[in-house]
Amino acid sequence: MLPGAHSRSPTTGLGRRIDPFPLPRSQGARSEFRAMARPHDPAAPVPPTPLPVDVPAAELLNGFIGSHVLYALTVTGVLDALVVTGPAPVPVADLAEVGDAEPSVLRALLRTAHRLGLVALDEEGDAVELTTAGHQAYRVRGYFTASVGGFGDVFRHLDTLLTWPDEFGRSVLQNGHYTALGCAQNWSFQRPIFDEATGDLGFAKVADIGCGAAARLIHLVGARPDAVGVGVDVSGEACQLARQNVKSAGLDDRITIVQADMRDVVASPRSFPQVADADLVTSYFILHHFVGERVGGRPFLAALRSAFPQARHFVFADGFREPAEGSVSTDSVGGGSVGADSVGTGSAGTGSVGTGSVGTAPGGAPSPLFTLAYQLFHDFTGVPLWTHAEQRDMFLDTGYVIERELPFGHPLEWLFVLSPAPGPA
């Protein structure tokens, strides 16, 4: 059991124990209390108060349940099967086989998803299909995979972390597999934006930093018959998954996966010649770990540029913090792309990852999907997040030219295409 997670008596925050079930202190008060509780007293008429249902709190709790149901249906492959087989209704018995699921439990999940408007069930509850809302949720399922599967342990133990923040990384863990899987699932709506932004980049060798499952690396190298690639990831599990995916894609003769800590590569590129000779460097959704002050911020970005002397382009994608309320920001969150050579108008309008009505920011605008989870998780784990404007400044200060930048399907996630500024690195 986590230290004290269920055994602690509550305290006032000053270390004094408080009694969770207080009785009146004076004897007189105690008698009064007993008198009030005499069983033969006629019950006082209490007008029935209906439970509030149509309130933000109900939406909040329903969202909690719905997120877990959506996550379970996603990671067991049930949603994939509904999408592949649809639009016709699919027998629930067939779905149970796909998801290796106990049929009665699957039915309970589907009934809940039905109540939440994600699926339509026939009258007997034997056949199911995705609704329009279900298709929309499927499109952004990666955020649910990352929030529930990747960060879920942290969110379940916020009480523990409040008192013992150092438990993060010990008894309270991020699940890197589900974080990386969530990232890979988002690729389906990011890919068209990526292709538009990078389609004309020429390169012979790409190095992908923090490659995870290698979906993006496989896509890049697979589309260019003469190119080779190297994926770098610190996690043995991620490397294993990446190698399997590279092999399944038939690219194991052109893509190598190297297990290494990117900070070591940047600090000592000569020790990693098979990585450092790349002419294109990519990194998706991990840069914030490296540019956090604890890792090095601007010095890291400058060193990264120097570690790849042959790089003609750097392609970085990452998620950013919402600008603080009242701050003057050069961010154009949700307003299309900024930059010397903007590609399209961005996708923050139609088809982008939307906002909900619960989770409204102090300034009034609702937080986009996933942003609350992303920010809270990083606040707890001590990795600082930048705003998009701060990240731009950092690139410009550390020897990069911003060639293109555009929202990556989410108003706070951006794709940058950079080149090294002329002059010494």
Ligand X SMILES: C[S@@+](CC[C@H](N)C(=O)[O-])C[C@H]1O[C@@H](n2cnc3c(N)ncnc32)[C@H](O)[C@@H]1O
Strand order through the sheet with 119-121: 90-91, 127-130, 119-121
Residues 219-258 that bind ligand X (CB under 6 A): 232-235, 238
DSSP run (H or E) holding 24: none
| Contact assessment for residue 345 and residue 334, using Cβ atoms and an 8 Å cutoff | no
User: Please, which residues have CB within 8 angstroms of residue 298's CB and are 6 or more apart in sequence?
Assistant: 291, 394, 397, 398
Among 179, 245, 332, 387, binds ligand X (CB under 6 A): 179
Is 238 or 301 the residue whose CB approaches ligand X more closely?
238
Contact between 97 and ligand X by CB under 6 A: the answer reads no
For every residue of 397-420, DSSP letters joined together read: HTTEEEEEEEEEEETTEEEEEEEE
Tokens of 216: 């993006």
Task: Name the residue with the smallest CB distance to ligand X.
Answer: 212
Cα(331)–Cα(335) distance, integer angstroms: 9
Tokens at 149, concatenated: 């599967």
What is the rounded distance in angstroms from the CA atom of residue 316 to the CA atom of residue 283?
5
Q: How far is the CB of 219 from ligand X (least distance, A)?
A: 11
- Closer by beta carbon to ligand X, 264 or else 397: 264
* Nearer residue to ligand X within complex by CB, 118 or 221: 221
Per-residue tokens: 255: 């893509």
Residue 183 interacts with ligand X (CB under 6 A)? yes
Question: Sign (positive/negative) of CA torsion 315, 321, 325, 327?
Answer: negative
Interface with ligand X (CB under 6 A), residue total 23
Query: How far apart are alpha carbons 24 and 9 in whole angstroms?
Result: 20
Q: In angstroms, what is the minimal distance from the CB of 197 to ligand X?
A: 15
**Identified binder of ligand X from the candidate list 118, 184, 302, 385, rule CB under 6 A:** 184
The minimum distance between CB 295 and ligand X, in angstroms, equals 8
Q: Tell which positions 203-222 bind ligand X, by CB under 6 A.
A: 210-213, 215-216
Per the CB < 8 A criterion, the answer to whether 101 and 76 are in contact is yes
Closest separation in Å from C-beta 233 to ligand X = 5
Q: In this complex, which beta carbon is closest to ligand X, that of residue 121 or of residue 316?
A: 316
Query: Whose Cβ is closer to ligand X: residue 233's or residue 279's?
Result: 233
Task: Return the residue of 180, 301, 303, 394 that touches ligand X, per CB under 6 A.
Answer: 180
d(CA 9, CA 20): 8
State which residue, 59 or 80, has the beta carbon closest to ligand X.
Answer: 80
- CB of 5 or CB of 372, closer to ligand X: 372
For ligand X, the closer of residues 134 and 210 by Cβ is 210
263 is an interface residue for ligand X by CB under 6 A: yes
User: Quick count: other Cβ atoms within 10 Å of Cβ 361?
Assistant: 15
Sole binder of ligand X in the list 255, 257, 275, 286 (CB under 6 A): 286
* Nearest residue (CB) to ligand X, 69 versus 304: 304
Least gap, CB of 183 to ligand X (angstroms): 3
What is the longest distance spanned by two Cα atoms in the chain? Answer: 92
Contact 260, 285 (CB under 8 A): no
Q: Write down the least CB distance from residue 281 to ligand X, Å.
A: 13
| Residues in CB range of 4: below 8 A, 6 or more apart | 160, 163, 164
> 55: left (phi > 0), else alpha (psi -120 to 50), else beta?
beta
Query: Least Å distance between CB 376 and ligand X?
Result: 16
Question: Of the listed pieces 58-66, 125-133, 180-188, 355-363, which binds ligand X according to CB under 6 A?
Answer: 180-188
Binds ligand X (CB under 6 A): choice among 189, 284, 300, 414: 284
Exactly one of 262, 266, 275, 389 binds ligand X (CB under 6 A); that residue is: 262
Q: Which is nearer to ligand X, 286 or 418 (CB)?
A: 286
Cα-based distances in Å from 23 to 17, 20, 30, 126, 291: 15, 10, 7, 53, 54
Whole-number minimum distance, CB 261 to ligand X, in Å? 4
In 99-235, which ranges are continuous DSSP H helix? 103-115, 132-139, 141-144, 152-156, 158-163, 176-198, 215-222
CB of 374 to ligand X, least distance (A): 11
> Among 117-125, 177-185, 305-313, 339-347, which window interacts with ligand X (CB under 6 A)?
177-185
Chain residues that interact with ligand X, rule: CB under 6 A: 176, 179-180, 183-184, 210-213, 215-216, 232-235, 238, 261-263, 284-286, 289
